[in-house]
């Protein structure tokens, strides 16, 4: 029952805010397809900028590296989260009064606090400049959220789901894989999306750990923009290439991104 003028004001204020948010994005996109090296918008759309940026920055290689890391992290994280979430949510865990708070604590630990020893330890193990090392770190840091998220999903399942299988005398593994997991696929999809985004978007960890041929797309983009300061159009095209995978997923799965990130923040 909001009045007509109030509705118009609502739209007006929100639209102004939306335009401010979209302004940098819009000029960036315009720059990416501009023939002008300074990136001034032009009606003459140069789609070839994407190809030029792709070849000059060798995004083919760095995007492959990012894709390998993100895929491995997604698979490992989901596996560990299913096992851990089922344990904490359904089976119960010995000493969980101590272990579960310890897991939640991990959601607050930031990379900055652990990066120094992590780097020097991994260096002695020969795991720096090594995709496997980075995959392990991403996966390990994702364990707390994964367990937290999957535990909540399993606990929300109605008890009846398990009862018939219980009577059949199914073991915990069979219960998880054939009864519980198929029932929580929406939560699994959200976890996949979030893990993919976090890993793909990472800059700090990749910057510290990976160099040369092992550079991820985000780090390669950082290097590329440093080299091409005078060719803003190519830099913008490169930026859009790197942002594209997550952006496309966001267009399709907006709700899952928002709900997952909210749950991680509120931790309820």
Which of positions 4-33 make contact with another protein (CB under 8 A)? 6-7, 10-11, 13-14, 17-18, 20-25, 27-28, 31
Q: Least separation, in Å, of the C-beta of 21 and another protein?
A: 6
Contacts of 129 (CB under 8 A, 6+ apart): 209, 210, 211, 212, 214
Q: Which of 132, 150, 237, 133 is nearest to 194 (CA)?
A: 150
Considering only residues 65, 74, 118, 184, which one is a binding residue for another protein as defined by CB under 8 A? 118
As measured in angstroms, the least distance from the Cβ of 45 to another protein is: 18
Q: What residues from 186 to 245 belong to the interface with another protein (CB under 8 A)?
A: 197, 200-201, 203-204, 208, 218-219, 221-222, 225, 232, 235-236, 239-240, 242-243
Among 45, 155, 227, 252, binds another protein (CB under 8 A): 155
User: Which one, 90 or 131, has the nearer CB to another protein?
Assistant: 90
Provide the minimum distance between the beta carbon of 48 and another protein in the complex, in angstroms, as a whole number: 20
* CB of 7 vs another protein, minimal distance in Å: 6
Query: 185 or 252, CB closer to another protein?
Result: 252
CB of 92 to another protein, least distance (A): 4
Q: What is the C-alpha separation between 111 and 209, in angstroms, rounded?
A: 13
Q: Sketch the per residue contact string, 38 through 77, with another protein: x for CB under 8 A, - otherwise.
A: xx--------------------------------------
Q: Using CB under 8 A, count the residues that bind another protein.
A: 108
Residue of 4, 60, 112, 212 interacting with another protein (CB under 8 A): 112
């Amino acid at each position: 029952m909001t009045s007509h003028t109030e509705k118009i004001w609502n739209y007006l204020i929100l639209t102004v805010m939306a335009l401010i948010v979209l302004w940098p994005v819009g000029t960036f996109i315009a720059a990416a397809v501009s023939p002008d090296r300074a990136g001034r918008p032009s009606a003459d759309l140069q789609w070839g900028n994407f190809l030029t940026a792709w070849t000059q920055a060798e995004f083919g290689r760095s995007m492959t590296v990012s894709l390998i890391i993100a895929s491995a992290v997604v698979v490992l994280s989901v596996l560990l989260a299913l096992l851990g979430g089922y344990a904490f949510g359904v089976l119960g865990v010995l000493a969980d009064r101590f272990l579960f708070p310890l897991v939640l604590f991990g959601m607050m630990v930031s990379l900055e606090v652990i990066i120094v020893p992590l780097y020097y330890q991994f260096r002695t193990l020969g795991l720096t400049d090594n995709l496997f090392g980075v995959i392990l770190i991403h996966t390990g840091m994702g364990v707390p959220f994964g367990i937290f998220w999957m535990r909540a999903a399993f606990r929300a399942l109605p008890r009846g789901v398990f009862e018939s299988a219980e009577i059949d005398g199914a073991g915990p593994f069979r219960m998880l894989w054939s009864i519980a997991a198929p029932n929580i696929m929406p939560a699994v999809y959200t976890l996949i999306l979030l893990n993919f985004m976090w890993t793909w978007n990472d800059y700090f960890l990749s910057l510290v750990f990976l160099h040369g041929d092992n550079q991820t797309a985000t780090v390669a983009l950082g290097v590329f923009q440093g080299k091409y300061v005078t060719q803003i159009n190519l830099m913008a095209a490169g930026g859009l290439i790197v942002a594209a995978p997550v952006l496309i997923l966001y267009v399709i799965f907006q709700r899952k991104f928002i709900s997952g990130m909210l749950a991680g923040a509120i931790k309820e």
